[in-house]
Homo-oligomer: A and B are copies of this chain.
Amino acid sequence: MRTAFYVSDGTALTSEAFGHAMLSLFPLKFKHRTLPFIDNQDKAQRCRHIINQAYQEDGIKPLIFHTFVNTEIKNIVTSSEGISYDFLDHFVEPMEAELGTAAQPKTNRTHGIHQDYNFRIDAVNYTLANDDGISTKDYHEADIILIGASRTGKTPTCLYLALQYGIKAANYPITEDDMANLDLTYDLKMHRHKLFGLTIDVERLQSIRQERRANSTYASLEQCQKEISKIENLYRQEAIPFLNSTHASVEELAAKIMDEACLERHRY
């Protein structure tokens, strides 16, 4: 199997994003290897050696997706036996022409601490303090409040919204009590413009709950069916926008919620 390398003088997150996007276009399997913080010539030599070794072991030239600022370091890495893809290189010149400014590359430019960094950490802290309905008194600060049955993906989605976009995302589990009279609690009603629902296919919910509490009422198909049907009715009755999380990743759920709820991305 061919090896794909993601190499950078920084975190290599950009190289990974670039490489994964390219490779996902092809129906092939690769071994993946990330080599971050290659920021001096010694490390670059070692990196070159690792790439050449992969060539020997695989019997096929590795691919190298890289983003480097320092050309000497870059030249050492690209002098290896790997096939080199450098997406910055290709776009820098046309962008310089369009922007009328020379590029001024700095290491750790993309994923270093920005001005709004504290904002994201505050959002993570908010999200943890308002996870799973543990507190409802700070909903006035929330950017969004996800609601839904237990195990529909609320917590990971909220954490992703906070970490990636600096969104203060609370979440509240709708329980038997709330469903009995098919109503929203007072705290939720007071912030209904911030509510966003999650739902999930019943079979999927049952299998997730079964893993948590095998053979409980909580994990029974009947219980899951009852909850999902009542909760979806509640969403419709209250005109709460909602998404089905069954086939969506946290990235997709977060991006869809941001889009549908018109939330501003704070990261940049």
Contacts and interface: CB of A to CB of B under 8 A. Distances in A.
Contacts of A21: 14, 17-18, 67, 87-88, 109-110
Interface stretch (A72-80, A154-162, A192-200): A154-162
Contact of A255 (B13, B105, B153, B252): B13
A252 B18 contact: no
A259 interface: yes
Interface string A79-94: 0000101011011101
Given A14-B17, A18-B17, A36 B88 contact: no
Interface of A: 10-14, 17-18, 20-22, 24-28, 32, 34, 36-37, 61, 63, 67, 83, 85, 87-88, 90-92, 94-95, 98-99, 101, 103-105, 108-114, 117, 120-121, 124-125, 128, 131, 153, 155-156, 159-160, 163, 247-252, 254-256, 258-259, 265, 268
